[in-house]
Structure 1
Amino acid sequence: MHRTGSVDTGCRCRLNRRMTESLRSVLERHAAEGVFPGLVGVDGAADGTLETVAVGALPADAIVRIQSMTKSVLAVATLRLVQQGRLGLDDPVERWLPELADRRVLREPNAELDDTVPAERPITVRHLLTNTSGYGVMTVPCPLGAAMAEAGVEAGQEPLAIGAEDWLRAIASLPLAFHPGEGWRYHHSFGILGILLSRATGGLDAHLRRELFEPLGMVDTGFSVPREQAHRLPAAVRRVADGSLVEVEPAAGGLSAAPAPFDLSHSELVSTAADFAAFARMLADRGRHEGRSFLAPEMLVSMRTDQVPERSKADDSFFPGFWDGTGWGFGVSVLTEGPNAGRFGWSGGLGTDFFVDPDGSFRVVLTQLEMGPEVMRLFAELQ
């Protein structure tokens, strides 16, 4: 067990033992059932107490595709630029993304593509952080969803096929599903945000490395795995109807292995248990790192506070029941009711998840099994 900090050792040991035994027993049981090839979990606290558990074929230092957990990282990167005065939450995105000026909006989300009206307001940085830009996953068959698929910008588990600039042009050719700020749709806002950050900073990969990853000690986090570390990238797998596993991305290869085939500013990160635990610890420690402010307290409060008005939480905006006792902050979901109210975090489509509790404890779990009933059951037990 690795311990740092100056809190009472007895209290720390009791906390860590309670958390870790639960974590280990759950991970070992799921591994024994043959559901997951391997799992890695981390329990931690803001004082630096950490316990890492690795079971099955996934080593503790594996570099894995964290997919939508990237949203929380982009949110922190954005909020740090806001606290530095380089961005404003209510800045129109067309300042950096002129392709998104003068948007057209469907009269209703399932309308024909030419049945549009002018947008009542521009898309802002805040809209991107809260998934309320007007772009996002269409949850029922409709002309806009079909057009997104045809343009190659439909969200899914398949690796991206086009680079950031082509992806943005394709997005910009499509109308919004609703006026910015008046609805909620998942995912695409953060691809747009990544491109905005890249243009605003002169390159997203270098900016994240300089401003987040190096200061926090996230040495293995980035948009791709260097060739010399590719052996640490496991295969990503999917469970099919007969219960067998099929490979959806190869070990040591695929889009996540360097060199990248195109600009990945709209894409998602790879990381490790240790790296993401460092990120989660900063959030758990009220935005501080090594005793110094990293994310301003008011920025962290905004990030972990529900930012979506009730009128925008439509039943068809995501999966059934998503909004029950849940809100969305900046890049993370937020529990608004129940015994864990105040908990925030998010998951990735290849079986990764993290959450931070108000008491300063946090949990990270990494697999490379595509999201499905088995993964959701694991997450429910761990939460």
Structure 2
Amino acid sequence: MTTSLLEILDEHVARGTAPGIIGVLGAPDGSTAIVTAGDLPADAIVRIQSMTKPILAVAALRLVQDGRLRLDDPVERWLPELADRRVLRTPDAPIDDVRPATTPITLRHLLTNTSGYGVQVVPSPLAMAMIGNRTAAGQEPVAMGAPEWINALAALPLAFEPGSGWRYHHSFGILGVLLSRVVDGSLEEHLRRDLFEPLGMVDTGYTVPLEQAHRLPAANRHTEGGLVEVEPAGEGFSVAPAPFDLSHSELVSTAADYAAFARMLATGGRHDGKVVLDPELLAAMRTDQVPASAKTDDSFFPGFWDGTGWGFGAAMQTSGANAGRYGWSGGQGTDFWINPDGSFGIVLSQVEMGPEVMGLFRDVQRVADPACGIENAPAGST
């Protein structure tokens, strides 16, 4: 007898992984099951954090297929702050030990986290400088608006020549600013018109409308003493109005909304019979784009690159039983993946990433293995 998705979620709520969890399983035939456990209702609007990255990647690739952007053109046309970059002679060099960069930053570099900007996981002068000017990434919301943020980031040198290394996160903040300038307006409005409304993603955006704030759950963190609340339900940074331009920030969404996005990817970039993302661009998105020389031990956490690649806004498994599976997670305990057969899964909690949440992801992915099928969700949950 196989274990159902609901049993897995109930077990994790009981053991204290999260106060509430939403699970989604999508089958290749288009059917979708949404399952809830604990105190997180199916229509909760949650902070998806880095699950924003695949959405921004699709938005950028749609501009590529429309001819408004090209993957290998320098982005300084729209982001003059990034012209004439300086690069550290070594990633751990003093902040003033620099030389002129010889390679311009391109859209491809942003989509693949190879721009030269990103999280510094190893202590260094650059890491300290990023903390000092408030551009270091963490679980806290962004500390300044998009124009101030990109100016502060541009004041720092690159960790490496664009394309030659890999660092997480900041490339996608830059991508958000780039997209807002290419469309010459609000990035949120562009995403709504170009992607969210066509896909029926009615509750996805950079903030939760005040009248819907009751649907935003508390954010939590595991500590030695148990779960603690780090942001209250229905309040805080994610509730409208936005304090400043959030083009470099991250989205909120729902299980139904993100399932619509995942289903579009899983069905070859199509929605309701229409092409949303060109098959060749989708193939590039889900193909490892990072050279082996850039997959260094200091680029991310230990073991990340074992059987893993990074395409455009998503990671993929390059070996093993689930080779070809791709997707990504978010720091507030969210995750999604798409299998080569067109099935997909989503897990949503509002607990910061850690061993407990990673264990939840692993358990759900085992239940959602293509060999198991959507029948392992409870009957009537579609």
- Normalized against structure 2, the TM-score is what? 0.94
Q: Which residue of 2 aligns with 1:271?
A: 253
2:262–2:344: 8 Å Cα contact kept in structure 1? yes
User: What does the per-residue CA deviation read over 1:145-191, in whole Å, with 9 as the maximum and x for residues that have no partner?
Assistant: 00000100101001111110000010000000000000000000000
CA distance in 2, matches of 1:373, 1:259: 34
Aligned to 2:216, which of 233, 242, 265?
233
Aligned to 2:162, which of 143, 164, 180?
180
Residue segments in structure 2 that go unaligned for 5+ positions in a row: 366-382
CA distance in 1, matches of 2:162, 2:133: 22
Aligned to 2:206, which of 207, 223, 242?
223
CA distance in 2, matches of 1:254, 1:353: 23
Output aligned runs, 1:20-35, within 5 Å: 22-35=4-17
Matched, 1:43 2:25: yes
1:46–1:282: 8 Å Cα contact kept in structure 2? no
Q: Which residue of 2 aligns with 1:5?
A: none
Aligned to 1:287, which of 266, 269, 272?
269
Aligned to 2:78, which of 96, 108, 125?
96
CA distance in 2, matches of 1:73, 1:32: 32
Q: Which residue of 2 aligns with 1:131?
A: 113
Matched, 1:343 2:341: no
Matched, 1:381 2:363: yes
Aligned partner letter, 2:216? L
CA distance in 2, matches of 1:161, 1:178: 25
CA distance in 2, matches of 1:26, 1:174: 45
Output aligned runs, 1:71-150, within 5 Å: 71-150=53-132
User: What does the per-residue CA deviation read over 1:227-286, in whole Å, with 9 as the maximum and x for residues that have no partner?
Assistant: 1100000010111122x2222122111111000000000000000000000000000000
Aligned partner letter, 2:170? H
Aligned partner letter, 1:375? V
- Structure number with greater CO (CA < 8 Å, separation at least 6) is 2
Aligned partner letter, 1:27? L
Q: Which residue of 2 aligns with 1:197?
A: 179
2:47–2:251: 8 Å Cα contact kept in structure 1? yes
Shift of 1:379: 1.1
1:40–1:52: 8 Å Cα contact kept in structure 2? yes
- The DSSP-based 3-state class of the residue aligned with 1:316 is coil
Aligned to 2:287, which of 301, 305, 309?
305
Identity of aligned residues (%): 69
2:207–2:251: 8 Å Cα contact kept in structure 1? yes
Aligned partner letter, 1:379? F
CA distance in 1, matches of 2:342, 2:64: 24
Shift of 1:291: 1.5
Q: Which residue of 2 aligns with 1:53?
A: 35
- The DSSP-based 3-state class of the residue aligned with 2:4 is helix
CA distance in 2, matches of 1:124, 1:367: 34
Cα 1:216–1:46 change in 2 (3 A) is farther
CA distance in 2, matches of 1:86, 1:98: 18
1:67–1:269: 8 Å Cα contact kept in structure 2? yes
Shift of 1:364: 0.5
2:17–2:360: 8 Å Cα contact kept in structure 1? no
* Matched residues, number: 364
Matched, 1:64 2:35: no
RMSD: 1.1
Shift of 1:45: 2.3
Shift of 1:135: 0.2
Runs of 4+ in 1 over 3 A off after TM superposition: none
Deviates more, 1:321-330 or 1:45-54: 45-54
CA distance in 2, matches of 1:23, 1:187: 31
Shift of 1:46: 4.1
- The DSSP-based 3-state class of the residue aligned with 1:364 is strand
Shift of 1:47: 3.1
User: What does the per-residue CA deviation read over 1:303-342, in whole Å, with 9 as the maximum and x for residues that have no partner?
Assistant: 0000000000001100000000000000000100001000
- Normalized against structure 1, the TM-score is what? 0.94
Deviates more, 1:21-30 or 1:349-358: 21-30
